[in-house]
Structure 1
Amino acid sequence: MMLKVGQYLQNRYEILSLIGTGGMSEVYQAKCHVLNRLVAIKLLKEEYSTDANFVSRFKMEAQSAAGLSHPNIVSIYDVVDEDSLHYIVMELIEGVTLKNYIRNKGRLENREAIGIAIQVAQGIAAAHDQHIVHRDIKPQNMIINKDGKVKVADFGIARAVSCQTVNGNAVGSVHYISPEQAKGEYSDARSDIYSLGITMFEMVTGKTPFEGDTPVQIALAHLQQPMPHAESLNPEVSAALSRIISRCTQKMPENRYQDCYDLISELRRALVDPEDEQLNRQAESDDAPTQVRGADNDGPTIILDRIADSAESVKRKNAKPAAEKENAGTPEKTGKPAAANGKPKNGASRGISHEANRHKHKETASLDKMLNAIGIAAAMIIVIIIIVIGVKLSGLFNDSFSDSGKSTEISAGSGTEEAASESESESGSEAESVAEESSSGEIIRLDSLNLVGMTLENAKQVLSDKKLEVKIEEENNTDVEKGKIIRYSPAEAEAGDTVTLTSSLGPEKIMVPVPNITGMSVENAKVVLETIGLSLGMETRTKDDAAAGTILSQSAEPQSEIAKGSSIDYVVSEGRDTHFVAAVNDTLSLQDYFGPSSGNTELKISIVMKQVVDGENHTKVVMDPTTIMANTALPVQYSIEGAEGVRRGTLQVLDLTNDRVLKTYNLTFVEVAK
C-alpha cells in the first residue's frame, strides 16, 4: 500500500515524497510537525504486514534497535502500528548508499575503503556491545552523507528478515551472507564481520566475490568456493588490507576476527602502514586452505527454505579413523574411491573394512615404531662413544670444564619483556651462577640477559641487579617500539663496568607546516590535510551564522609545524537555529491540460523546486517521476525547505511524457525556527 503525498500518519507525520522502494519496504521523506523536523519513514510492504509472526518479530527487534545511539548508526525515533500499517520513523540522511557510491566510482582506493570500513565497524561494534547483531550487513544498508560520515541502517529490521527463508524472493543480501547464515545455523557478531569483509572486497574490486544465476547458487558458493584474494582483481590493493579482508571472510567463524574492535585496530594499522609486515604475518595462517563444512563431495544438500545443512552428519559418516588418516598419503592398492558420486557406502561393509584396516595399521605401526626405536638407540650409542673418545683425546675433559660451565648461555627469548622475564625465571641456577660471578669480578655474558626488546626501565633494573652501571643513548628506529632497547654494548662486562643501552625513540618525526582550514568545508579540509600527511581529528559542532559544515576554528595554528601523521581537531558550524521554508497548497486538475477525453492517457509527472544560490541554479526533486492518469486531480501541497538565506524560488510541475512544464508556482521562503 503506497502512501500519498500530503497524507498524515498519526496526525503528526506529513508524507512529502517517496524516497525509494526495496524488497520489503517503501521509504518516504516526511515532516514531523510536532518536533518540526524532517524524518524518514520505512513502511513494511503488504506481504510482510499480513504476516503476524513477522510483524511481531519486526516490532520487537526494531524497538531493541531504537535504543542504539552512535554517530555511525541511523537513529530510530519511533516504531508505530497504525491499523494495517507498520512502520519505523527514523533519522533522515541526505546522502548516497555505499552500493551506489561503489557503482558510480567503479572501485575505491585503499585509504577511502579503510576509512569507510572503520566507520561501519564502529557502528556495528556499538550494536554488538548492546547484544544486537545486524545479520544483513551490505553496502545497500550503509549511507554516506554529504560530510563523508557513514551510517549503518536497518538494525532490527534486518534481524526480523533474517528469520525468513532464503529463496528466489529473498532480498539481495545473499551476496553478503555468512556461511553459517546460509546453512541456517546460529549467527553472531562474527557473521556481521564476514559480511563486512565481503563489503570491503566489493569496495576495492568493484564486484562481489561470489556470483550465480540464483540465490541458491550464490549461497552455495559462500559455503564451498574459496574466497578470492582482492589483489587478484585489483593489484593496487595493499597487502595489509587484503589480509584483513581474507581474515574477515574465513569460512569458519573462529578463524575470523572475534570482535569488531580487533578489526578496527588492524584497519587503523593498515591505514598507517599499508605493507604492515607484522599484520601480514599474523594473517598468514588465514591463507591456508579452509575445510568448508558441508562442501565435500555432492552429498550435503542445502535446503534453502532454512538453508539447513546435513553436511556435518555426512562428514561424520565418511570420516576416516584417526589411525587411518596417518597413512592417508599412500593410495590404496585397489585405487577405488570409498564412495561413488559422493554417496557413502553401505554402513555395515564400511564398518568392517574400517575395523580391518585399523587392526592392520596398528600392527604395522607397532612394528615400525619398534624398529625405529632400536635404530635410533644404536645410532645414539655410537655417536656418544665417538664424542667421548674425541673429547678425551683433545683434553677437554678437565677440571676447568665444570667452572666454565657457569657461563652457559640462558636461551634467548622472544625479545619482549614478558619473554625476557620468563626466560630469567626458567633459567634458575644459570642466573644464580652469573650473579655469583659478578660478585667475584668474573665475566658477565650480557646476551644471557635478553636485553634487546626490553623496556628501558626493566633493562636498567636487570643491569643494576648485576651491579653494573648504565649509560643511556637514544635514537630513532622504525622497527623497535618507542622506549624499548635496540642494542647494548659491550657484549661482556664485570661488576662495576658501564653498559651502554641504546633506546628507541620510535620512527623519526617529519615535521610539516599546518595549512589554514578555517572557512573550508569538512570534505575540502580532509583532502587538503591528507595530501600532506595530516588528518582531521575530533570534531566539535556549534551553532553559527556560517553555513552548516563550515570549519570555524582549528586546534593547530596555521603555518606552525607538527609531526606528519598528526590529526587536527576542529570546530564546525551546524548553521543557524532557523531554516527557510515555503509552502504550497493547491490541487492541479490535469484534465484542464489534456481535455475531458484523456481518462485513459498515462503521464509521467514530476515536481521540482528551483532556486538561484550564489549565482548558480539549484534544483531539488520534490516528487519523483510518477505515472498518473491524465484525468487526475494532482495535489500540490508541500512544505519545502530552501537554501539558507535565499528567499525566492519556484515550484514546477513537469510533464515528462511530453517534455514540458505544466505549471509554475512562485515561492517565498520565510525564516522560521527549526
Structure 2
Amino acid sequence: MEGQILGNRYLLLEKIGGGGMAVVYKSKDTLLNRFVAIKVLRSEFSTDEEFVKRFNVEAQSVASLSHPNVVSIYDVGFQGDVHYIVMEYVDGLTLKEYINKSGALDWQEAIKISIQICSAIEHAHKNNIVHRDIKPHNILMTKEGIAKVTDFGIARAVTSSTITMVGSTIGSVHYFSPEQARGGFIDDKSDLYSLGIVMYEMVTGRVPFDGDSPVAVALKHIQETPAEPRKFLPSLPYGVNEIIIKAIQKEQGLRYQSATAMIVDLNKVLVRPQGGFVGQETASNQSTIRMPTLNNSNISNQARNSSSAGKHSEAQKIKKKNTTAYWLAGITSVLVIAIALFFTISLLMKGNTETYQIGNYKGQEYSAVKAELESKGLKVIEIWQDNEDYDKGIILEQSLPEGTTYRDGKYTNLELTISKGPQMSKVPDVVGKEKREAQNDIKTANLTSSIAEEYNEDVSADYVIRTEPATGNEVKVGSEVVIYVSKGAQLKTVKVPNLVGKTEAEAEKLLSDSKLVIGKILPAGVTKGIVNKQLPAAFEDLTEGDSVTIFLTPQEEGPSTSTAPSTDTANNPQETGQKPTGDSASDTKSSPGKEEEVIP
C-alpha cells in the first residue's frame, strides 16, 4: 500500500511493523506536514464484523487516554474497505528490540522503565481499561528514553463479566497471565502479572517460561513456579527480586492489587534496593482443620475410666492448687527481675545517650530536615512521589509520628515521603513549524497553548518564531505555552514626496529615496518632460513599495545657434553691461544730439 493516500491527507511511506490484526505504516500527514504512524486493518479481516469491531475498540480505548507514556491517537477513518487509525509516530525501538540489542538491562534502568509502563497502566485502569497484552513488543522507546505503551487492539472496558472465552484466548503466550491461559476472569492484576514478566526479562535477558509450543508455555504459566531472577543474576538487589516475584504470583489475590501500589514499591526500591518493604498479600480463604475421629473404643474407654475418676478428683484438686501457687510465684519473680533489669538498663542508657523526640516534619523543606535528623543519628529514607499540590522537596508523610522518643541508634531509619512536585512535561521544539502543527505538538506533550502574532522579516507568515517558555523547559503538565507566530514582514507607511516641477529622473530619485516606485507615466509616449501632476498627491500616506503615477509636460527644444541676443536682453541692454550700438535708423533719429550736428 506504499504510496497510497488515505483520507485525502495521509501518504503511506513504508511498512514499519505489523501484527495479527493490522499492518503499521510510517506515513506523512500532508495537511500538518508531519510524520504519523497509521495502523491499517488487514484486508482479510476488513469484511469480518468481529475484527472490525475489535479494531474500532482499540481506537475508542486509546482516544479516551491522555498520558505521556501512552501513544496518542490522532484520527480514525475508513476508505472503501480499508479501516485505519492515525497515531503518534515514535522514532525509536520497541522494548523487545532494545533488550535484544543491549542484553539484560541494569536494574536501575529496568526499574525506571517499569515505573513509566506502570504509570501508563495505572492511567488506563483508572479509565476502566485493561490492556490485556502488555509485552516488550508493545512498548516503544523514544530516543530520549521515554517508554510509551501502544497496541490496545485487544483492550476492553472492564465490566463484571470481563472473561476471556476458552478457545479464543488473546495475548502473547510468553507474557500473559495464568487466568488468560485458563480462559478465566481478567482484571487489572492480569496486566500487572504481564508487567512482572516484562521486568523479569529486562533484568535477566530471558523470559521465565519457554517451550516447544504455545500450549506448553501456557501450561507452565498455570502449573510451574518460575526460578527467581537472582538465580540468573546473583547481583540483583533483593528488593527488585521481591517486586518481580510478587507481581508474577499465580493467584490474583497474592499479586499487587493495583498499579498504584506497585508504583509505590518501584519508587521505594530505587532508594532501598535491599528490600524488606514488599508486603505479601494474604489469601482470604482459611485452611480446613482436621478434627480427630471419635469411635466406639474411645467411648468405651471413657465410660470405664469415669468410675475411677471420682475417687481421685479430690486429690487432683489439691495437687492442682499447689501447682498453680508454685507457678504464680515463679512468674512473679521473673517479672520483678525483668522490671528491675529494664529500669537499670534505662538508667544506664540515659547516662550515656541523649534522648530526642520526632517532630512534625510535614510541610517542611526536606533538605533542612534531613540535615537536622542525621546530625542526631537518625537515618532518613527518601520516598519521592509526584504531587500536584506541593512544590518539589516538601515533606508529605513521615513513618514515625510526632512525639516519638528515640535515642541515638535505637531506630535504624525514618521514612519521609517527599514531593517531586507536579508531573512535568518538556516544551517540545516547534520553532519553524506551521501554527496548527505546533499546536498539536504542544497538545501531545500534555500542555495547552495560546497564539500571539507579531511581525517578523525572517519567518514566513503562520510559522512559529519562538515559544514561551522556550523549547526544552520543564513545566507542569497542563501549563500554557505561548506560541509566537509570524505575521510576515511589517510594511511601513511613508509620505509621498512633491514631484511637481521635477524631471522624470528627479522624480524617480525622490520616490526611490522614499521607498516608492514610479507607476504609470502619462500621457503615453512622452519620454522627457517636467512633472505637472502626480497621483497620489504630495504628502499623502502610502505603504513602502507602492507606486505613484506622474503626468509630464513635454520640454521645449533648446535655443538656436544664432548669436543674436534674446528679446529680453535686447530690450534691457543695461543687463549686458554694453552701450547701445546705433545700428538702427530709429535709434539715430531719436538721438537729440543728431539734430544739432552741423555738417561742413
How high is the TM-score relative to the length of structure 2? 0.54
Q: Is the 8 Å Cα contact of residues 358 and 405 (structure 2) preserved in structure 1?
A: no
2:32 equivalent to 1:35: yes
CA distance in structure 2 between the aligned counterparts of 1:144 and 1:66, rounded to whole angstroms: 21
Task: Tell me by how many angstroms 1:258 deviates.
Answer: 0.8
| Paired position in structure 2 for 1:571 | 473
Task: Tell me by how many angstroms 1:146 deviates.
Answer: 0.5
**1:155 paired residue among 152, 155, 170:** 152
| Paired position in structure 1 for 2:322 | 385
Q: Is the 8 Å Cα contact of residues 193 and 248 (structure 1) preserved in structure 2?
A: yes
Letter in 2 for 1:229: E
Task: Tell me by how many angstroms 1:27 deviates.
Answer: 0.7
**1:105 paired residue among 77, 84, 102:** 102
Task: Tell me by how many angstroms 1:157 deviates.
Answer: 4.1
CA distance in structure 2 between the aligned counterparts of 1:34 and 1:546, rounded to whole angstroms: 16
1:385–1:139 CA distance, 2 compared to 1 (3 A): same
1:453–1:266 CA distance, 2 compared to 1 (3 A): farther
| Paired position in structure 1 for 2:120 | 123
Letter in 1 for 2:196: G
| Paired position in structure 2 for 1:214 | 213
Task: Tell me by how many angstroms 1:47 deviates.
Answer: 3.6
1:171–1:95 CA distance, 2 compared to 1 (3 A): farther
User: Deviation per CA, 1:51-108, whole angstroms, max 9, x where unpaired?
Assistant: 2122123313421321111000001122223222122111100010001111111101
1:174 aligned counterpart, secondary structure: coil
Q: Is the 8 Å Cα contact of residues 473 and 501 (structure 1) preserved in structure 2?
A: no
Task: Tell me by how many angstroms 1:111 deviates.
Answer: 0.2
**2:54 paired residue among 52, 57, 60:** 57
2:6 equivalent to 1:16: no
2:41 equivalent to 1:44: yes
Letter in 2 for 1:540: K
Aligned residues: 385
| Paired position in structure 2 for 1:85 | 82
Q: Is the 8 Å Cα contact of residues 230 and 242 (structure 1) preserved in structure 2?
A: yes
How is 1:584-599 mapped onto 2 (pairs within 5 angstroms)?
Answer: none
User: Deviation per CA, 1:514-549, whole angstroms, max 9, x where unpaired?
Assistant: xxxxxxxxxxxxxxxxxxxx999945315487999x
Q: Is the 8 Å Cα contact of residues 129 and 155 (structure 2) preserved in structure 1?
A: no
RMSD: 5.1
2:190 equivalent to 1:191: yes
2:139 equivalent to 1:142: yes
Task: Tell me by how many angstroms 1:270 deviates.
Answer: 0.4
CA distance in structure 2 between the aligned counterparts of 1:544 and 1:252, rounded to whole angstroms: 48
1:214–1:380 CA distance, 2 compared to 1 (3 A): farther
User: In terms of Rg, which structure is larger?
Assistant: 2
User: Deviation per CA, 1:420-463, whole angstroms, max 9, x where unpaired?
Assistant: xxxxxxxxxxxxxxxxxxxxxxxxxxx9xxxx9985469xxxxx
1:388–1:36 CA distance, 2 compared to 1 (3 A): same
Structure 2 runs not aligned, ≥5 long: 343-349, 362-372, 382-398, 439-471, 476-480, 486-600
Task: Tell me by how many angstroms 1:237 deviates.
Answer: 1.6
Task: Tell me by how many angstroms 1:277 deviates.
Answer: 2.4
2:65 equivalent to 1:68: yes
1:225–1:326 CA distance, 2 compared to 1 (3 A): farther
1:378–1:537 CA distance, 2 compared to 1 (3 A): farther
How is 1:290-309 mapped onto 2 (pairs within 5 angstroms)?
Answer: none
CA distance in structure 1 between the aligned counterparts of 2:83 and 2:295, rounded to whole angstroms: 68
Letter in 1 for 2:173: V
Q: Is the 8 Å Cα contact of residues 38 and 87 (structure 2) preserved in structure 1?
A: yes
Q: Is the 8 Å Cα contact of residues 15 and 29 (structure 1) preserved in structure 2?
A: yes
Q: Is the 8 Å Cα contact of residues 475 and 503 (structure 1) preserved in structure 2?
A: no
CA distance in structure 2 between the aligned counterparts of 1:78 and 1:162, rounded to whole angstroms: 30
Task: Tell me by how many angstroms 1:188 deviates.
Answer: 0.8
| Paired position in structure 2 for 1:246 | 245
2:376 equivalent to 1:475: yes
Letter in 1 for 2:93: V
CA distance in structure 2 between the aligned counterparts of 1:380 and 1:487, rounded to whole angstroms: 49
CA distance in structure 1 between the aligned counterparts of 2:77 and 2:11, rounded to whole angstroms: 15
How is 1:388-399 mapped onto 2 (pairs within 5 angstroms)?
Answer: 388=325
Q: Is the 8 Å Cα contact of residues 163 and 186 (structure 2) preserved in structure 1?
A: no
Task: Tell me by how many angstroms 1:21 deviates.
Answer: 2.7
1:22–1:200 CA distance, 2 compared to 1 (3 A): same
2:125 equivalent to 1:133: no
Deviates more, 1:170-179 or 1:239-248: 170-179
Q: Is the 8 Å Cα contact of residues 136 and 159 (structure 1) preserved in structure 2?
A: no
CA distance in structure 1 between the aligned counterparts of 2:218 and 2:357, rounded to whole angstroms: 50
Task: Tell me by how many angstroms 1:248 deviates.
Answer: 0.6
| Paired position in structure 2 for 1:540 | 426
CA distance in structure 1 between the aligned counterparts of 2:76 and 2:328, rounded to whole angstroms: 88
Q: Is the 8 Å Cα contact of residues 32 and 39 (structure 1) preserved in structure 2?
A: yes
How is 1:348-427 mapped onto 2 (pairs within 5 angstroms)?
Answer: 382=319, 384-386=321-323, 388=325
Task: Tell me by how many angstroms 1:132 deviates.
Answer: 0.5
1:127 aligned counterpart, secondary structure: helix
Task: Tell me by how many angstroms 1:125 deviates.
Answer: 0.5
1:379–1:152 CA distance, 2 compared to 1 (3 A): farther
User: Deviation per CA, 1:365-421, whole angstroms, max 9, x where unpaired?
Assistant: x98xx99xx99x9999746524536988x9x99xxxxxx99xx99xx9xxxxxxxxx
Task: Tell me by how many angstroms 1:475 deviates.
Answer: 1.6
Q: Is the 8 Å Cα contact of residues 485 and 501 (structure 1) preserved in structure 2?
A: no
| Paired position in structure 1 for 2:516 | none
CA distance in structure 1 between the aligned counterparts of 2:100 and 2:296, rounded to whole angstroms: 59
CA distance in structure 2 between the aligned counterparts of 1:361 and 1:205, rounded to whole angstroms: 62
CA distance in structure 2 between the aligned counterparts of 1:454 and 1:18, rounded to whole angstroms: 65
User: Deviation per CA, 1:179-219, whole angstroms, max 9, x where unpaired?
Assistant: 11111112010000000000000000111111111111111
Letter in 2 for 1:115: K
1:68–1:362 CA distance, 2 compared to 1 (3 A): farther
| Paired position in structure 2 for 1:266 | 265
CA distance in structure 1 between the aligned counterparts of 2:115 and 2:106, rounded to whole angstroms: 14
Letter in 2 for 1:154: D
Q: Is the 8 Å Cα contact of residues 102 and 206 (structure 1) preserved in structure 2?
A: yes
1:132–1:454 CA distance, 2 compared to 1 (3 A): farther
Q: Is the 8 Å Cα contact of residues 39 and 84 (structure 2) preserved in structure 1?
A: yes
Letter in 2 for 1:60: V
Question: Sequence identity of aligned pairs in percent?
Answer: 38
